[in-house]
């Protein structure tokens, strides 16, 4: 039961007992040499997974150390959902040249979060931007997703977009668009993120 909860799985009535009984039930067997060989292969895979996991942990530690030394790191990590991994990815894709982008709209277009509006006569179509930095767009997607449980303002904005018939991905993209604007402002003014200032009630209502 505890393992199911830690894995984020449902705990239906009798599920833990059912899994336990299934694992302990008699199963088809292979010849002893085959089972021995499969055991050796399984141990080898476990050692490989352990080595990869250790390498990832070492890389994350080194990344955090180097990222913390960057002058923009305190502002970036002041935002909800941005730790040393996502924050470093964001910084790596945006760069730290203050003159690289003219304004926040240029940043949003580069990330692909700003939509494209096409109008002709009475026709008006709003679509997602396809030509963009997809690595940055992916980073912003996970950033927006992470803020849903870390920022009441971001969550309210997402819920407002969902209530306005946005799909999950469209609502996240709209939220990422807002977050990038706020990050741009904070980096330009050298100001850390502040929840109340970032999400005034009037802005959420107008989203």
DSSP state of 121: T
Spatial distance between the Cα atoms of 168 and 145, rounded to a whole number of angstroms: 10
Give residue 70's pLDDT: 96
Could you tell me which of 96, 58, 61, 55 has the C-alpha nearest to residue 75? 96
Give residue 1's pLDDT: 60
Give residue 75's pLDDT: 96
CA distances from 191 to 11, 54, 57 (A): 45, 36, 31
Could you tell me which of 119, 124, 116, 95 has the C-alpha nearest to residue 107? 95
Buried b (16+ CB within 10 A) or exposed e, 186-204: bbeeeeebeeeebbeeeeb
Sign of the Cα torsion 42, 48, 54, 59 reads negative
Give residue 185's pLDDT: 94
Spatial distance between the Cα atoms of 143 and 180, rounded to a whole number of angstroms: 10
Residue 117 backbone dihedrals phi, psi, to 5 degrees? -110, 125
Give residue 121's pLDDT: 63
What residue ranges of the chain have pLDDT lower than 70? 1, 3-8, 116-129, 202-207
Q: Which pLDDT tens digit goes with each residue over 51-101? A: 999 999 999 999 999 999 999 999 999 999 999 999 999 999 999 998 899
């Amino acid at each position: 039961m505890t393992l199911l909860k830690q894995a984020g799985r449902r705990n239906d009535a009798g599920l833990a007992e059912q899994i336990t009984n299934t694992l302990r039930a008699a199963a088809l067997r292979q010849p002893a040499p085959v089972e021995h060989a499969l055991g050796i292969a399984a141990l080898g895979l476990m050692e490989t997974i352990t080595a990869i996991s250790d390498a990832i942990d070492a890389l994350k530690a080194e990344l955090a150390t180097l990222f913390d030394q960057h002058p923009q790191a305190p502002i970036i990590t002041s935002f909800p959902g941005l730790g040393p991994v996502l924050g470093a990815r964001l910084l790596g894709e945006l760069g730290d040249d203050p003159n690289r982008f003219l304004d926040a709209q240029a940043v949003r277009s580069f990330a692909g979060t700003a939509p494209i509006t096409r109008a002709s006569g009475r026709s008006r179509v709003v679509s997602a931007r396809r030509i963009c930095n997809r690595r940055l767009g992916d980073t912003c997607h996970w950033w927006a997703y992470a803020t849903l449980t870390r920022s009441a303002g971001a969550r309210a904005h997402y819920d407002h977009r969902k209530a306005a018939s946005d799909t999950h991905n469209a609502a996240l993209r709209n939220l990422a668009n807002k977050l990038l604007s706020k990050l741009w402002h904070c980096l330009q003014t050298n100001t850390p993120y502040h929840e109340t200032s970032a999400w005034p009630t009037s802005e959420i209502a107008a989203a």
